[in-house]
Each structure stands twice: as structure tokens, then as C-alpha cells.
Structure 1
């Protein structure tokens, strides 16, 4: 049944028709029939490049080849002002946003890890102890299901609308990257860094299909042992990058270029498979597995004639940026290599399904700040803020102030959980303790803002963009009693090298958003503000299905043919 989207406009149309009939205009001329709507895409491919800031796409654009990022930029719609519009920019939250169209305060994924408000112990975003990996070692905190995702995704809605005939498959180098794209009713496959396999979990099936077994048996992950990652381009291409010795790296000095893939034991083992994550080869394996999934599941050629979804989360850029920083030669080169991989993948899809039948979306789960030492060389106030020291100082201050012992029960920054039972037992008022803690934290070097539970629950956080982003990231049932925001270019970390993300600032929120599909999308560079949560409603519109339950994004109508 076709439903009218806007009854007001429909009434206006009827009124206009009545007026024209009265004047004899409709009797004299026959209105031309409208052009038929484009057919639904046979395959929707959603690509998430983990840890890719928008500025890197712009900065290195001239060096891209013809078939990868440049193809998306030239043949698709590209938003330069697109954002992961929530205040805690980490992998799990960003991936949850892509196909749910929802913010953390609804979808319930408030971090990669967070504190359970009852037990005060750490939980992982996709852990589910009722399920295990298939044929692989499974630790209690490993990601095995979407149980903690509280809302539906685009794939769930497509599966519902098609009577479960549409197929939804997601693959990633990280469990959370695959699971949060697959949703509740899709199927997720993730890289196992102990064996180098891609595997699913008992949440989805009891045994891998034959095509997965064939892929595993071929052991493509072993082909890189003893190889090195070397620069793809001439030396002059990297002239604007930070010098290797300009910033401390989390990787050993011997693993600057050329970056070698080996194990300390001298054999192919878990050490080697773990090392594969930093560099281009994990992404190459992920795309190889995606090809196997397209063929094994016959994606884009569904016998039922319904659309399918393939989610691919490419994890390596995040690992490279953490270790070396987005200003590094390593990060620069990795993006160029990924560009060539995407070109090959798009070529494969064209041959297998036909790109005219495929709708492609590319985005990222978060951006990245520079390594603090590099930012300092650019005269920025940038440092790492040691969370353990900060919490110890806060507990000491509260004890001195209230004489009630340890009042910080647990923390997983930026969230801090107070011991309300101890507060009440000591005859104290919650608001008084919250405000005293907030005042102390605001005096600490590197802290820009603190929001309390009282402020969040009463919506008294103010109207700034920063406050809006943090409010979206706060979940009433799960989040802490205090949320602490660092100053720009600072981040929570106790190390002495590398960098990390997680802030509400543009370097962490501004990510690529590209949509390509010849039949449905008008190519061009769009300067309008857009959000990653706009992806799911836009795809739902094109697939002619209802949007995910908690979606708050808009349909990107300016891009539609």
C-alpha cells in the first residue's frame, strides 16, 4: 500500500485540481505522466573507514588514483561538512550511528567500554557471554553479539520488509565494527587476531557456511609473512608529512618504514596476526573476505529480487593513526594504499553486480587529532591527561571536603560514577557532591567542561554545540554522574606516544560522507551541514522501507535524482 507522506500537500494538490477543472484547463490539456521512479538498488554497500578524518581526504585528494576515493568524489555526492554529531567519538558509537540513524542516548552504545551502573565493573560494547566465536578462542569480554544495541538498524528494517529474504552481511577487522553494522538480524564476521581467520559467532549461526570454510582453509592471511610495508609513492609525495622523529610513536622504531610483518617466535603465530592489524594488509584481507561474501551469499543477485546490504568496516587506518598520528608518512601512505584497494573493489562490484545496480556509501566512525607533540610544534596547547591521576586527585578532594571516604565509585572517562549509596549514608546531598566534583575538575589543567547528572536529567546543559553533542552522548540508564570534556587538542591518556580520539571537537567529528549511485544520486560537492545519522533515513527512503526505530537524521534530499 502506498501511503501519502504529506497530507497537507495532498489537500493543496486537490484544491488546485478543483480550481483547474472549474476553469476547463484540465479538460483542454492532458498533464504529462511523471517519469518512473528508479528501481531499488540490488546491493547497498556501506563502507566505514575506521579513524578517517575528513581533512585527510581533502589533503591527499590530488594523489588518489581514478577508481577509489576519486571515483566517489567525482561520481558521487560528497559532503564536506559532515559530522559524527555526538560528543564521545569512538569506534563503537560511530559504527552504531551509521545504520541506526540514532544517537547514543537512544541506541545505548555509549563507548567501546563503559561502567555497568549496578556492578560498577567494565563492560564491552558487544560482549555477550551467552555466545562464542565459531572455532575460535573466546574470552568473556570478546564481542559476539549486538545485545547491547537497543535499537533497530537499516538492515533489520530491510529484513523485516522483505520477509527476511534480503541478506545483510557485515565484515570488519574489529568485532564491534562488524556487529554494529550487521544489527540484530544480519550476520557479522570479524577478524580473529590469534588465528588470522574471519569468523562469526553462535549468535548468528552454529556452523560457518561452506564459502567461509573454503576461505579459512586457503589461509590467505599467511601470505604476508616476511613481507614489508614500504611507501607506495615517490619520496617527494610525502614532503609535507611530519618527520619520523618529530613525534613519538607507539610502535617500535624498527617498525617505521619499512614496516615488517613477522613474529618474535620466527613462526606464523598470534604475534604475526596481531601485527597485521597495523598497516594495509588487514584491509586487503577484509576486502577479500567481502568479495567472498558477495559470491558466497550471492549478494546483489538475490533470487527473491530484493535488495541486499554489505557492510565493510576497514579497521587499519585507526590502528595506524593511533600509532603514528594522521600527520605521519605512515598514515598518508596507508590512505593511498586504501584508495587503490577501493578502486579494485569497485571494479570487482562492477563486474559482479554492475555498479549501476549498486548504491555505495562511505563514511567514518570518527576522525583523529594530531599527536600532541606535533600539535605543540604548531603552537597548540596539546597534552595527554592522565585519568588515573585525575581520579585520585578528585577522590582526595571529595574526601577532604565531605569526610565521607572514597566517593568516586568507578570511572571510564569521560564518564565518572559517584557512590550514591555512600553519599546518602553520609547524609550528603547528591547535587552538592556532583557540583563540588565538577568545580574541582574544572580547575584542573586540560579540562574544558564538566556536566553533571543533575544537569543532564533536567536538560540544564545549555545551548552550545558542545553541550548538545555531550547530551546526545549521555544515556540516562548507563552513563556516569559526571561527564568530563578535555580542552581542544588534549585527550585522556597515560602514555607517552601516539594519539587518540573521543572528543566533541571538529578534528574528531568531521568525517567523510560520500554517496554514489548513478540511478539515485546527483554527483557534486555539497557544503550543507550533514550528519552520519542522515545515512540510514536516506537509504531507507531509497529502499522504500521504514527508517530504523530511533533514527533522528534527515533524508539528504539535495543529493537525490
Structure 2
């Protein structure tokens, strides 16, 4: 009997060991050789649905139908800007923790405006301009790309590419093997910083001398399909768009070769769909040049398509130009996915596609439809705030800076007047709510001492950083922007700015869709779980279990 029981339990343990071995093998099978993070700058979720009939089968539709499509993904903080979005995707947390509170912001310690990735300690590699004086030094946490290195004993490669410097630098984290961005003007070359290296890799130098950029700018920008078929967008000739310099009207065709000289030469490619094609070509060169996806370790390629943002800002979210840009991006993605199939292998890579923010429809266009919206007058508002401080405290020097819908107090002036800082904050917050265009206002004191669990103030709190943010934060009314009256912008916590695509595709990813709410910060822990590394060190997101096999 004892012998029987011994054999029985031994069989159980053997079976469990076999199960564990099979599970380990399965997890290993589901680990990609290459992760590709794709961020489409300023992509609203509804671009997937609005232009769906215009897309081919191999681009957006391929990953939507064969991957996992999150239909209700949102940014869970304010402000929704490029640098903040890219950082939050890769850091798995909000500005409260990672410290990137805008693209540019007022530094209350240095008493000056700063740009998120500027760093005079480093120099440009690739041209003789100052475009490479950059680094991720203002990023306070690690990213999933950092964890790729930390979790593999500094093995595996991380390469990040984008036209915009901030869109390349911040996703790459602190340990990227290379981050590359485009230096326009009369340069027309991809560059990097001495933070990463002292000399361009041979594949970058080869691309810079290939003539690809000039080739892409050699033809006018015309619609891919006949313009009369673009029924998803408003009339081409409308009063809501901004022209290129040298154009009489903001309409097709856009004569790119002749517009170069009046639109900063190579910088023009940023604002046309060819900029996305250039980025795709450069990303493919990076995969080949760095042998990504070929080693025993997991590699990571971060790619941001920036031209969509430039087009949206200039022409607006309802323009023919936006529709054509996404039709052409769909073709670029199809080519890129086919390239990954061939060079990395269908079963060897995983990708996600999302956006760093969405965008508002042009308020003047909304007004034409009798929908509320408007324009915030920064100068009038600044005078209004100074009137408040003069009336209450007898000084127009109490406010030091107003930017990014934040008010920074002059701490020295407050002390000299022997005022209570919290009281000054509250007075200003209470009074500015009466200004036309201000919808919500809150003090730093309230954000530090209270917890908001839902609504706009919750988003504002998640975007507030005690060390770097202002003393009073405020929110404009819906569809009210601080921007010219032509083109679109973003930055708010309203759905038109927060609702973005979130699609996972490839090895280890389930096929399906979800209408459950997910914040964008869930991407990093989901990818970390997939590849078996620790979450970024400031992470507040959760892995999405229904995405993973």
C-alpha cells in the first residue's frame, strides 16, 4: 500500500513538473524576438472607423482584425501633448510620477521656459546644427525600453526613431542604444546626440546620402484616390485651414517642389504624408542595420509617425489632407508589416499601435454647425489675473508666469507681502472661474491634499507634478483652445483629445476586441509581462490580461 501511494504521488509530482516545463516552454514560445512600438502622432480613435472603407487589407485592418483592438482606450490625465503622451506610453504612468509635464514648461527654479529634451551638455551627431543638443535627463522614471535592458543584463537592443526629437528620445528611455530624429531646414538628415554616441552608425550615414528624402519631395502632394471620393471629409476649399507659405489657397494639389524654398526646405517633409514614408523607410533601415530581432535576446524598436500631427495642426481633423494622410499611412503600414514578416518573421515579433493624443475639431467649424466652441485669449486672461491680484493684494507682481493653463506664483513677492500662499492660490482659483472660457479651476494645495476619483479634476490631478507644476491649474470649456483660428490642436482632458487607438498584434497576443475602458498607461506593463521583465519603476498601469495569450 505504501509503495502504491509513493508511486501515485510521485506520478503526481512528475506530472506537475511536466506541466511546469510545458508552461515555461509555452511562455518562451510567446516571447517575441522584436517588439515594435508604433505611435501615430495626433491620431483620433475615429480615424480607424471613419476612414475604414478607404483602407486596404494589410495595414490598419490587418492588425485590427487579426490582433486585439481596444475600442475604449484613453489618456487618463491632462495635458494631452506629444512629449507627455510618448512618455506615459513607455513609462506606464502619468506626469505625477514621470515628470514630463508638457512639451515645454516654465521652470519655477530656473525662472525660465524649458523644452522637455534640451540639454546643452551634449552635441549634435550627424550635422553641424544644434538639433542634437538633447537627452532624456528630465525624465524621472524608467521606461519599458529601459526595462528591456535591465531585465536582460544590458543585452538586447533598443532603437527609437521619429521626425520629432522628443518623440524619439523619450520612448527610448535612458538606456537606448540609439535614438534618431530628423534635422530639417537646409540639413535634411537624420541625427542623434552625443548622449548616445559620438558617430552615426554606418546605416544612418548611408540613408542620409541615399537621396530618399529628395526623392520623396520631388512630386506634388496630390490625393491618393480621386478627391471626389473623399466623402468622409469637408470641402477642400474651406475657411478652417492654414495655407503653406506661398500658396493662394490651402487646397490640393500642394506643389511640394516649389513650396520648399518658402517653407524651410527639408522641414516641409514633416508636414506632408511623405514624412511618414520617410520614417517608415528609416525604421526599416534601422532593423537591417542593427540586426533587430536576430539575437537570443528581445530587441525593441520604437517608431513614431509625426507627420500626422503637423498635417492635423495645419488643416484640421475634418480636412481632405487628413483623410489622404491616413490613407497613405495605411499603405506605409502595410509595407512595414510585410517587411517585418520577411526580415524578422511572422512568429517572431509583437507590435502595438497607439497615439500620443488625439485632437479637437476646429472650433470655428463647430460654430458653423451651431456647436459650442471657441478661442481662449491668453493676453486678456493674463491682464484679468493681474487685476485680481491687484484688487485683493495690491500687487500686479504676484503672478510670475501663466502657461499650459497653469499659473505660477512669484514666491518672493508673496513672502514680501506676508501673504499666505494657499490663500492666494484659492482667491485666484475662485476668481478666474468667472473668466469666459475657464470651466474648472483648482489649487495646487487642493491637488496635494485631496483625492479626485473621477471627472476632469481627476485627470488634472494625475497630470499634476508637485515639484514642477504650477500653483493654480485651470481647464478651458469644451472645444475651447488657445490656438489660431485655422487648424486643430489638443491638450485637454475631453474625449476628443483622450480617445485614441490601442491595438496589439503578433506573437503572444490574443485575437479579439474590447469595449472596456483602458488607460494608455496599461501598455507598458502589458508589454513588460509579455517579455518577462519588471515594470518601469514609476509604473501605475496594469497589464491587460485579455490581450495576452
* TM-score calculated relative to the size of structure 1: 0.91
Alignment map for 1:434-513 (pairs within 5 Å):
434-459=425-450, 462-493=452-483, 495-513=484-502
Paired with 2:72 and 2:344, the residues of 1 have a C-alpha distance of 31
Give the structure 1 partner of residue 57 of structure 2: 66
The answer on whether the counterparts of 1:154 and 1:540 sit within 8 Å (CA) in structure 2 is yes
- Check the 8 A contact 2:122/2:132 in 1, yes or no: no
- 2:241 alignment partner, one of 249, 253, 263: 249
What residue in structure 2 maps to residue 296 of structure 1? Answer: 289
Q: What per-residue deviation string (whole Å, max 9, x for no partner) do you get for residues 451-486 of structure 1? A: 1111112125x4332111111101001001111101
Assess if the C-alpha contact under 8 Å between 2:237 and 2:251 holds in 1. Answer: no
Select which of 147, 165, 185 maps to 2:155: 165
Match of 1:526 among 514, 517, 527: 514
Distance 2:534 2:323 in 1: 40
| Aligned equivalents of 2:115, 2:508: Cα separation in 1 | 38
> Which runs of structure 2 are paired with 1:251-270 in the superposition (5 Å)?
251-252=243-244, 253-262=248-257
In structure 2, the partner of 1:221 is: 213
- Is 1:405 equivalent to 2:396 in the alignment? yes
Q: Give the corresponding residue for 2:305.
A: 314
Partner of 1:148: 138
Q: Is the counterpart of residue 551 in structure 1 residue 539 in structure 2?
A: yes
Gaps of 5+ in 1: 1-20
Q: CA deviation at 1:331?
A: 0.5
Q: Structure 1 residues 256 and 37 mapped into 2: Cα distance closer, same or farther (>3 Å)?
A: same
Change over 3 Å in CA distance of 1:128–1:330 after alignment to 2: same
| CA displacement, residues 324-373 of structure 1 (integer Å, 9 cap, x when unaligned) | 11111110110110001000000011110112101010000000010111
- Spell out structure 1 runs of 4+ moving beyond 4 A: 24-32, 263-266
Q: 1:80 to 1:521 in 2, by over 3 A?
A: same
Measure how far apart 1:434 and its partner are: 1.2
Corresponding residue number in structure 1 for 2:266: 273
CA drift of 1:26 comes to 9.0
Aligned-residue CA RMSD (Å): 2.1
Matches within 5 A, 1:279-358: 279-302=272-295, 305-358=296-349
Instruction: Tell me which of 521, 526, 529 is aligned to 1:538.
Output: 526
Instruction: Indicate the residue corresponding to 1:184 in structure 2.
Output: 174
Equivalent pairs, count = 532
**Aligned pairs for 1:193-204 within 5 A:** 193-194=184-185, 195-204=187-196
What is the match of residue 119 of structure 1? 110
| CA spacing shift, 1:28–1:220, aligned 2, 3 Å | closer
Tell me the CA shift for residue 491 of structure 1. Answer: 1.4
Q: Deviations over 1:15-65 (max 9, x none)?
A: xxxxxx99x899799678355324210000000000001011111112210
Using the TM superposition, give the Cα deviation of residue 400 of structure 1 relative to its aligned residue in structure 2, in angstroms. 2.4
Task: Answer whether contact 2:117 2:169 (CA < 8 A) is retained.
Answer: yes
* Superposed counterparts of 1:40-79, under 5 Å: 40-79=31-70
Distance in 2 (alpha carbons) for counterparts of 1:520 and 1:74:
16
Gap regions ≥5 residues in structure 2: none
